[in-house]
Structure 1
Amino acid sequence: MTWRDCYDALDKPTWTPEPSTIGLIWQILYPVILVTFGYVFYQVARKKIPWPVAIPFAINLVANIAFTPIQFGLRNLPLAAIDIAIVWGTILWAMKAVWPHRRWIAVAQIPYLIWVTIATVLQFTITWNNW
């Protein structure tokens, strides 16, 4: 079975966005993530921002990158739900950590936080429905 066949076979809520819509949203968010996270890592390397500020950004990147292989490679819904919860939590943590240093970075994360909030509720619903 392809990843798409498996995804289509899942019991999903009626409000689930189409995969093409999900892809489009990520195509919009990834450049924002690239610029803002890259800026934080660059400023940390230049010692303009304390290094602990980069920790939630780094964890977020790892968890974000891990989601697709977990969800569509391993096809492990509970682990994908835990992973997306980590993504969500580290966005909040990153926003709080960077706020005293570069408020615009925290504000720029708002669309990412909104989308990941929706994605987290969706993932938990799909996990529950298919347990």
Structure 2
Amino acid sequence: MATLADDLDRRPRPRRNWWKIALVTVPAIVIAGSAIGYLSNSGFSNGWYVPLEKPSIQPPGWAFGVVWTTLYTFMGIALALILALPRSPQRRLALTLFAVQLALNFAWSPVFFGAGYIDWAFLLILGMDVLVTATIIAFWPLNRVAALLLVPYLAWLCLATVLNHETGKLNPGADHAPLGITGG
């Protein structure tokens, strides 16, 4: 019967120091995510968003900046851990899934806050939920720490998915391009 030590011995070994890569990936993801949020006027300074009725489980406004900075930091570290591994088909798949979910993540704020498209943003966040789950699964055999660093992100996305849906439901007529999904 294989032991945990045997399992760890079969894992790919990093080909270089992951923390050197993280010196690039962490600031890049934090800065890009923050810039996109700022440029799309996300949050409680947005004139379209402020008057909307919020779900009762909505965290306070200050929590979003703290949480997203932390999550983007975790994402940057997770990415660095995977980038440090030798090239392989599994690594390529994991990086592709990560890149696609990150693209959807960066698209969400402009769609929701910038355009006021509640239903379209809901479809984006559902896609993120699926892709982040797939990314965690793809990261797991490569580096379990990298996979586990994405779990809080998935948990927050689940909350954000509910908030997105409930915002549409509580604010009929607020969606600038309704698809009839959230009721907005």
Q: Please give the range of the TM-score, normalised by the shorter of the 2 chains.
A: 0.7 to 0.9
Matches within 5 A, 1:8-23: 8-23=50-65
**TM-score by structure 2 length?**
0.64
1:90 correspondence with 2:131: yes
Distance in 2, matches of 1:42 and 1:75, equals: 39
Identical counterparts, % of pairs: 26
Check conservation: 2:136, 2:150, Cα contact below 8 A. yes
Q: Which amino acid aligns with 1:95?
A: I
1:56 correspondence with 2:56: no
Hey, what does 1:47 align to over in structure 2? 87
Larger Rg: 2
Say what the alpha-carbon RMSD is for the aligned residues: 1.7
**TM-score by structure 1 length?**
0.87
Distance in 2, matches of 1:7 and 1:42, equals: 41
Give the CA deviation at 1:11.
2.0
Matches within 5 A, 1:101-120: 101-120=142-161
| Bigger helix share | 1
- Write the deviation string for residues 81-128 of structure 1: whole angstroms up to 9, x where unpaired: 111111111110001111111111111111111111111111111122
- Write the deviation string for residues 32-77 of structure 1: whole angstroms up to 9, x where unpaired: 111212332453xx41553112221011110010011111111110
1:38 correspondence with 2:38: no
In the alignment of these two chains, the number of paired residues is: 128
Structure 2: segments with no counterpart, 5+ residues = 1-40, 172-183
User: Which range moved further: 48-57 or 18-27?
Assistant: 48-57
Hey, what does 2:174 align to over in structure 1? none
User: Which range moved further: 18-27 or 34-43?
Assistant: 34-43
Structure 1: segments with no counterpart, 5+ residues = none
Secondary structure at 2:50 match in 1:
helix
